[in-house]
Chain A
């Protein structure tokens, strides 16, 4: 029997020790590390099951899909199993649409908005694909390799027409290998990386050796693709996709020779970059990473941002891959436990050493798969902001008129103000302005990201009265 003096519905709302946003490798590891140290943890994720993008649908997969997707994917099962066994609170289908400066997290779930108070926060929202603005990239029939892979993981959906894969980076080669295993017809792979500059590669010799495990996997994928007899074009430049209402053809040059391929489906990919929408919306400090050509949040040795109690782990902190993400998640979880006075204050040295070991390959990968300037800072006639159809040329004109940063492009042209709120064009806009104004990207800055972080209808907002 409850005490009538304390009505249950007037009980003070619970303040969690930790809320983790994102149930990929970093988020799962952070939640587990904190939970094991006795913290009251809530793991939030948009998807129906844990796994994030990298281990998406890992709890639902079957033997055939495991064969197609490979051992690195199957590894995610162990994390998912630990989450299940830990009994920690996991809200699936929970979309975070705003975080207040006091760390209150606003969640939309089952059509209702909920407010969650917490003492600390780990943001593990991962990476997103780098925009790949080439002529024709907005045509129906063009999608990203990441989107293709999600369809494969989620629903075992694969293209029924021959596909051209264009770009560079591990995900592109991985998808090619997975498609081969799934029996998808790949018409060609167009590799836009500049080709190995051995002078630079040698300068990364230690990086190469230290990361040999990663390199071996990469070489294995390339071998798998090449031995399948798929046309593989190296050093691709001048890529354009043609068609009136849909893709008809791709044109490009490879090693100096003009090429054309007829096709209906093109998948583009030139690497992933940290998804910093959440950390920008919180006005955490960020810096431009010249090696990875993207924004990264400024973090301390535990992964804590410039905002006390708010941590970032995983690819959202800088691209390191799934295993690094997991280790960073654990480190952040320990950091949070320390800061809230749980358990023996651990120094995290072991995790940091592991992370450093796994990151040693990065300088080589960053150089090897550095997207070419022409594919990041496009020609004048290429659409940059897909939502509002703003071209690179229009942005250059705005710079000539005195536009000093991405936020002003909104006023000049609605660039970055459409449904995606700059997610698709943000990096491109920063780099175009930087080049045109002859400023470092750091000085050009980024969009001010406004709520809602995720789609929210008027009725859903109204229901939060």
Chain B
């Protein structure tokens, strides 16, 4: 595809709206495919959910529609990230373990593994009480088993975002920060994005604006029922090493991990209110006592460990909790990738590949029909 010459200084082959992980990864892959790319970011890259999430590189427990993407991301990208973008982003292949705390949990866990096996997926395995104890010797004895994904892990979100940014810039991607897009227009085959820093043009537009993406989609008639929300996490003071894998629980919302520096990050889809127009979310610790309880149920020795900080990032949530990764249903030369509903971090490397394929070939080599932008549209 040839770059279109334009007298305007703000012209490129593709405009990407949003400098979160999905946008940075898309910009990188598009540039790798030979296109000239400009990325517009309202604040600074990785400012919201992309820079401050829990960093789980998790295929475990995913919606079936996401599994092919999650596995491709993990096997083709995460485990070789340094070779692809010049930094491993702090990736640690720690494995993920989702613990079963009761017989009911165990039945549920085994049913899930059997269901996945039936579909040809073998990345999640049932492990019994003894195996759990080998993986996490310090865990409370009431745990009866769990689901184990040995090649999962975690990374450092801001490091990954920065690494993608630097890699994209190395390929010539122009990143314009502090440039909130006020509106987008499509005229005579050209997309136009108006910002306070000028008007930018390109034949292709990629919408990776996260919690703000639905507004841009709506401007071209791709109406989706996405809502913005805050996603809360808290971190403890440093404690002696006691757990290597990232942990989740079958029966209650929890995700937690201990970093090398000893701090423990606790999360698990805990939502709080977000004011997308003011671009901030307010931590609501009232919703976190249950997570604290779950942690000390599993590891009673953490009772007196102090919480250093709780924080939140703003994210877009879809009603079915799977993202939109899709060409526009209404406009030409527009690709959406947003609404990752609190689990977009692991998918972000593959999102860029899919977006680049959709732009350059009009189709994706991975199954993405479940993520159509018009799946909620009424006939």
Contacts and interface: CB of A to CB of B under 8 A. Distances in A.
A450 B51 contact: no
Could you say which of A414, A456, A458, A462 has the most chain B C-beta atoms within 10 Å of its C-beta? A458
A350 interface: no
A63 interface: no
B170 interface: no
A114 to B, nearest CB: 12
A464 interface: yes
A213 to B, nearest CB: 44
Interface string A433-465: 000000000000000101110011111011111
Nearest to B312: A450
Contacts of A346: none
Interface string A87-112: 00000000001101100001000000
A418 B307 contact: no
Could you say which of A97, A283, A411, A419 has the most chain B C-beta atoms within 10 Å of its C-beta? A411
Interface in B233-252: 236-237
Given A404-B44, A458-B303, A465 B309 contact: no
Contacts of A97: 285
Interface string B265-308: 00000000000000010111110111011011000001111111
Contacts of B51: 411
B311 interface: yes
Given A283-B280, A411-B46, A461 B289 contact: yes
Nearest to A449: B309
Contacts of B162: 411
A465 B284 CA distance: 13
Given A411-B158, A451-B283, A459 B308 contact: no
Given A408-B44, A411-B51, A461 B285 contact: yes
Contacts of B236: 458
A421 B308 contact: yes
B41 to A, nearest CB: 12
Could you say which of A97, A106, A414, A419 has the most chain B C-beta atoms within 10 Å of its C-beta? A419
A352 to B, nearest CB: 33
A451 B310 CA distance: 6
B87 to A, nearest CB: 14
A283 B281 CA distance: 11
A158 interface: no
Nearest to A115: B286
Chain A interface size range: 20 to 34
A451 B303 CA distance: 19
A459 B307 contact: no
Contact of A461 (B46, B237, B282, B288): B288
A101 B308 CA distance: 21
A298 interface: no
Contact of B285 (A411, A418, A451, A455): A451
A418 B293 contact: no
A142 interface: no
Given A106-B285, A411-B46, A461 B308 contact: no
Interface in A373-409: 404, 408
Given A411-B158, A452-B285, A461 B307 contact: yes
A417 interface: yes
B252 to A, nearest CB: 12
Contacts of B305: 457-458
Contacts, number: 78
Interface string A282-324: 0100000000000000000000000000000000000000000
B21 to A, nearest CB: 13
B293 A452 contact: no
Nearest to B303: A459
Contacts of B302: 458
B370 to A, nearest CB: 33
A459 to B, nearest CB: 4
Contacts of B309: 417, 421, 450-452
A450 B283 CA distance: 8
Interface string A330-348: 0000000000000000000
B285 A98 contact: yes
Given A404-B44, A450-B283, A451-B283, A459 B292 contact: yes
Given A450-B311, A458-B295, A463 B289 contact: yes
Contact of B289 (A101, A411, A464): A464
Contact of B296 (A411, A452, A459): A459
Nearest to A452: B307
Contacts of B282: 100-101
A98 B306 CA distance: 15
A417 B282 CA distance: 18
B307 A458 contact: yes
A455 to B, nearest CB: 5
Nearest to B51: A411
Nearest to A106: B285
A448 B162 CA distance: 20
A462 B289 contact: yes
Interface string A61-101: 00000000000000000000000000000000000011011
Contact of A458 (B261, B286, B296): B296
A452 B286 CA distance: 11
Contacts of B310: 450-452
B53 to A, nearest CB: 12
A462 B293 contact: yes
Nearest to A418: B308
B334 to A, nearest CB: 29
B298 to A, nearest CB: 11
17 contacts: A283-B280, A411-B158, A417-B309, A419-B237, A448-B311, A450-B283, A456-B306, A456-B307, A458-B236, A458-B302, A458-B303, A458-B306, A459-B304, A462-B292, A462-B293, A462-B296, A464-B289
Interface of B: 44, 46, 51, 158, 162, 236-237, 261, 280, 282-286, 288-290, 292-293, 295-296, 302-311
The 5 closest A-B pairs by CB, nearest first: A411-B158, A462-B293, A462-B292, A459-B303, A461-B292
Given A106-B285, A456-B306, A458-B307, 12 more contacts: A411-B158, A452-B285, A457-B303, A457-B304, A458-B292, A458-B295, A458-B296, A458-B305, A459-B304, A461-B285, A461-B288, A461-B292
